[in-house]
Structure 1
Amino acid sequence: MKAIVLREIGGPEQYQFEEIDTPSPGRNEVLIRLRAAAFNRRDIFVRKGEYPGIRLPATPGADGAGEIVAVGDDATNLPVGSKVVIYPAINWGDEERIYRKDFSIVGVPTNGTFAEFIKVPMENVFLKPDYLSWEEAAALPLAGLTAYRSLVTRGQLKAGENVLIPGIGGGVATFLLQVAAALGAKVYVTSSSDDKINKAISLGASGGVNYQEENWDKKLREWMPDGADLCVDSVGGKSFQKLLNITKHGSRIVTFGATAGPVPQLVMPKIFLKQLDILGTTMGSPSEFHNMLSFYSENLIHPVIDSIYSFEEITEAQRRMEQGNNFGKIVVTFPWSEESI
């Protein structure tokens, strides 16, 4: 089968287009012919060697959707031909609150979705919502699940609350906006791009500020005089201090990333005097994935697609993500033939 193989840490050129053996499903596994996959920031971190648990060679990619073409002896839940989306967490475990010690994500250390076929455990496949295209379904799993858990499970967001999403434009951030708006929250965003702020407003945001402007946090407080009820942050860095100013007393900050690096000189009294809850999160359980798919289907939400590349253009796709120009998910499609495996 055709696949992208990462054999060495380095630049975009390390994603090599190769012909490798097609996997065979084990007893409780299914083989999926992928129709589309999607990029996550994680794929860039893996390629650069900035992610734990890397074992090479491997095929990257955590997001994907396609059709079941073969099943193991004990994989009886869905028949061959089923159109499915992949739940990208391996070995979450039975506890909803936290994953097991042997937890991992599809696409390094196990082979991922940047390939013609992928085998995954039966528990990792869910029926694709009919209203979603292949590209939309492939865009949803990792980022959509991270956003859903951040807002619903960890953030406990309620209708009418004010929620702040710093750094609008990335995949998770656009899902955060869609889910929060569908829940009836008032959503505010930040970005260094006025164009991205305007796109966010068109998707349901109540307003946004350019964080390159002086005193941008004070402008947000003018819109939210009592402060934000919930901030969901993936940026970290020095801007995290401003989130402490923007939040109201007794509010919540959910964090799942730190693209701007560590938070310098954290002012601890702002946390304990304001009675803030700082909550960490990542990914989500199988039941949360099921609930996320149901939520999107019930509200007929379409994931925001920034751009679609062919399999052969995967180097250009990752460069676009690294440049940070995207608004929404970057998707890769696979124009495979219909011949049997």
Structure 2
Amino acid sequence: MKAIVHQGEGLDGASYRDMVLADVGPGKVCVKLKAAALNHRDIWTCMRAEPAAPPCVLGSDGAGIVERVGLDVTDMSPGDEVVINSSQDWESREEVPLGEYNVGYKILGFPDHGTFAEYIIIGRHQLEPKPAFLDWREAAALCLVGITTYRALFTEGRLQTGQTVAIPGIGGGAATQALLFAKAAGAKVLVTSRDSTKLETARKLGADLAVASDDSWGQVVRDFTNGRGADIVIETIGEATWKQSIAALANGGRLVVFGATAGSLVEVDLASLFLHWQSIIGTTMGSRDEFREMLAFSEKHQIHPIIDRAFPLSEGVEALRYLNTARQMGNVVLDINI
């Protein structure tokens, strides 16, 4: 089968090539992929991979049609339309996985083969029915950013109707999905960006306030909320936005972190933190329970992920390079068998 595979160093190690498809073992399902979505994790995988590591099919997000099933799979049949939960073997929100990242807890696409391929062999428990209201591109794009932002907003952030959410660095798939989820939940949403076009798009998507990412946007959030600040700040940027994210946070607010694209080393004034009853919460991905809840929430509110650009699978390396420019507004996807 054809796939986008990484072996070597950096993005130069990614290539479009043939890979052998494994057998469908017990409890496994072969899915003919229709579309896959890119995430910054795919770029980080390329950048951090050991040069001597074996080839690995990239990609965490995907949607497709069941081709065949292995022994013991009795509740799924060829022809079923499915989406892939890339948060591997995490069943319940009540307990987070033990062990280190990529050892005790894994995300599809490294070290296990991922979705940038014509087919994937995956455990039955990692599949859910595709929401009928989404097209193939949207269904693929919803998976990783959907489960990540759903857990960040609702499980960790404890978002309630009428609260205020600040999202610095609007533009990527996760930040854009957080905007859509928060608005559907009845929140006021404030976003920032250095790109005026992205700010205008965010306003059209429902952002109540969209402002430039400068050295004072934290105060702008406070002014907009009559001095109170944001109940939740969704932080995916890190060092570049951290100071203003803290400045924007209300007393008792939750700063929920699941990314650090601009650096992971930041300073925290502990006295200010506890004197304002604030919380800094780290999270990544989510459980199977949350994935199912996220799909139901998206269907209830008819939430369509924003698709910025689609590439054919054969141009998957170019898609990775495009994502690395950070020019996108929403999700970048691969058309595979559409």
TM-score interval, smaller chain: over 0.9
1:38 aligned partner, one-letter code: A
Give a deviation string over 1:81-130, Cα, whole Å, max 9, x none.
10000000112245633124322111110110011110111100000011
Counterparts of 1:256 and 1:42, CA distance in 2: 12
Q: Is 1:66 aligned with 2:64? A: yes
Give the aligned residue type for 1:18. R
Aligned to 2:241: 239
Q: How does 1:98-117 map to 2 (within 5 A)?
A: 98-101=96-99, 102-117=104-119
Secondary structure of the residue that 1:140 maps to in structure 2?
helix
1:305 corresponds to which residue? 307
The residue that corresponds to 1:224 in the other structure is 225
Aligned in 2, Cα 1:293/1:174: closer, same or farther, shift over 3 Å?
Answer: same
The one-letter code of the counterpart of 2:159 is L
SS in 2 for 1:70: strand
Q: Distance in 2 between matches of 1:220 and 1:26?
A: 53
Contact 1:187 1:207 in 2 (8 A): yes
Residues 38 and 138, structure 1, Cα contact 8 Å, conserved in 2: yes
Q: Deviations over 1:158-198 (max 9, x none)?
A: 01001101110001001100000000000000111111111
Q: Report the secondary structure of 2:57's partner residue.
A: coil
Matched residues in 1 for 2:307 and 2:327: separation? 13
- Confirm or deny: 8 A CA contact 1:55 1:109 kept in the other structure: no
Q: Give the gaps of 5 or more residues in structure 1.
A: 337-341
8 Å Cα contact 1:77-1:122 kept in structure 2: no
Which structure has more relative contact order (CA 8 Å, sep 6+)? It is: 2
- Compute the displacement of 1:259 (Å): 1.1
Kept after mapping to 1: 8 A contact 2:93/2:290? no
Q: Distance in 2 between matches of 1:306 and 1:196?
A: 11
Q: 2: distance between equivalents of 1:118 and 1:335?
A: 13
What is residue 41 of structure 2 aligned with on the other side? 42
Instruction: Give the 5 Å matches for 1:320-335.
Output: 320-335=322-337
The 2-side partners of 1:263 and 1:203 are apart by: 32
Alignment partner, residue 90 of structure 2: 92
SS at match of 2:259: coil
How far, CA to CA, are the matches of 2:30 and 2:195 in structure 1? 42
- The question of 1:250 aligning with 2:252 is answered yes
Q: State the distance in 1 between where 2:21 and 2:308 align.
A: 30
* Residues 216 and 244, structure 2, Cα contact 8 Å, conserved in 1: no
3-state DSSP class of the match of 1:9?
Answer: coil
Q: The residue matched to 1:142 in structure 2 has which SS?
A: helix
Within 2, Cα distance between the matches of 1:238 and 1:165? 13
Q: Percent identity of the aligned residues?
A: 38
Cα distance in 1 for residues equivalent to 2:49 and 2:16 = 22
* Alpha-carbon spacing, 1:265–1:153, altered in 2? closer, same or farther (3 Å): closer
Q: Is the 8 A contact 1:3 1:20 kept in 2?
A: yes
Q: Which position in structure 1 is the counterpart of 2:5?
A: 5
Query: Equivalent residue of 1:110, what SS?
Result: coil
| Counterparts of 1:147 and 1:265, CA distance in 2 | 24
* Partner residue, 1:162: 164
Using structure 2 for the length normalisation, give the TM-score. Answer: 0.94
* In 1, Cα distance between equivalents of 2:13 and 2:184: 40
Note the 1:140-219 alignment, pairs <5 A. Answer: 140-212=142-214, 214-219=215-220
SS in 2 for 1:307: strand
Partner of 1:295: 297
The aligned counterpart of 1:339 is: none
Instruction: State the Cα deviation string for residues 308-335 of structure 1 (Å, max 9, x = none).
Output: 1111111221111111000000000113
Structure 2 alignment gaps of length 5 or more: none
Further displaced range: 314-323 or 172-181:
314-323
Q: Report if aligned partners of 1:241, 1:267 keep a CA contact under 8 Å in 2.
A: no
Alpha-carbon contact 1:92-1:100 (below 8 Å) kept: no
Q: How many residues align?
A: 332
Aligned Cα root-mean-square deviation (Å): 1.6
Q: Is the 8 A contact 2:16 2:317 kept in 1?
A: no
1:274 aligned residue: 276
Q: Within 2, Cα distance between the matches of 1:190 and 1:205?
A: 10
Q: Which segment is superposed worse, 239-248 or 289-298? A: 239-248
1:23–1:117 Cα contact (<8 Å) kept: no
